Amino acid sequence: MNEPNKQQGFILPITLIILALLTVMSMGLSKMARNDMAKIQQRQKALNGELLLKNTQQWVIYKLLTGVPDKNKIKGKEASIAVDNQTLRHNNIDIQIQDVAGLMGLYAYQAPVFEQLLTQLTDKQTATQLAAQLKDWTDKDQLTSHQGMEAADYIKTKQTALPRNNAIRSLDELLELPSMTKELFNGTKEKAGLRDLLLAGGVTDFNIATAPNILIGPMLKITGNKLTQIIALKKMQDWQHLEKQIANISVTDFPFAQGFQYRIIMTLPNGHKSRSLVRLRPARTRPYQQKLWQYPDNDRG
């Protein structure tokens, strides 16, 4: 075989190998491109959903700013909107607005009140432990409460965080308590979650008209027939008789005062949610302050 034929015989396999490598690389790049495109499209959908939710939130805030607080609703010129976590719909989005005066604030933490709430959601032992653990998490001393835990106990049991020894800044801090569970925090189909009943901060008054029924007993420190009667009057929206009953208990001077802060939960048709907390400041240049925005609002923990 002459020299040119030898060279051609050598070049042909090399060419085939290169073509094969290029084909494999092309297939790999195509797969990467498809994966990247799917991620881009998914992200685009998420951004479009967030934009739609924020536009809807602006509609809610406008209603809150231009209406007049009245027990469990904001009265507007054309219609009223509920602020007791009832579901309303706007632009095919489900909206739940909760006046924070109807929640249990944790800024001025009271362990017995929190424990009474917990006993409705979990067993007595867990309720006692959690109430004590939150007390030790927020108080400034290093003295361990009965069934509570201070920093030394967290270190000994190799916990991932240590007590703040101050008021909590976010409800997510509750997940650091050793006795807390995701189910108790997030809730289930059968029971409300603590994140839907609590407020990391606090307001002066407790609005019975906007409060979930599960909070009324602990917050008013009542049980039995008194509690049953108050819940019945609330259900009938018999505000006149309810106010008289509250006056007899003497726990609050303004039983229907809204807190001018509102938690807003919005749900898209695809099930994705957002959770925000806004504070109205109508007398200032900026009419409101957004204190929280979570999207998508998945279960925490």
Mean pLDDT over 92-106 rounds to 97
pLDDT band with cut points at 50, 70 and 90 for residue 135: very high
* pLDDT score recorded for residue 20: 75
* pLDDT score recorded for residue 12: 62
DSSP per-residue codes, 129-165: HHHHHHHHHHSSS-PPPTT---HHHHHHTT-SS---S
| Residue range 25-36, pLDDT digits in tens | 777 777 776 777
Residue with tokens 């219609």: 79
Mean pLDDT over 177-203 rounds to 94
Distance CA 114, CA 106 (A): 9
Mean pLDDT over 78-85 rounds to 95
198 has pLDDT over 70: yes
37 has pLDDT over 90: no
* pLDDT score recorded for residue 33: 67
* pLDDT score recorded for residue 284: 74
48 has pLDDT over 70: yes
* pLDDT score recorded for residue 14: 76
* pLDDT score recorded for residue 243: 92
Contact 32, 40 (CB under 8 A): no
| Residue range 247-268, pLDDT digits in tens | 888 667 788 999 999 999 999 9
| Residue range 204-221, pLDDT digits in tens | 889 999 999 999 999 999
Nearest Cα residue to 294 out of 191, 138, 186: 186
38 has pLDDT over 90: no
9 has pLDDT over 60: no
* pLDDT score recorded for residue 254: 82
* pLDDT score recorded for residue 25: 75
* pLDDT score recorded for residue 11: 60
Mean pLDDT over 124-137 rounds to 97
4 has pLDDT over 60: no
Write the burial class of residue 293 (CB in 10 Å: 0-12 exposed, 13-18 middle, 19+ buried): middle
Helices (H), the chain: 3-66, 111-118, 124-138, 151-156, 182-186, 213-220, 224-236, 239-249
- Average pLDDT of every residue of the chain: 90
Tell me what percent of the residues of the chain surpass a pLDDT of 90.
72
* pLDDT score recorded for residue 5: 52
Mean pLDDT over 108-116 rounds to 95
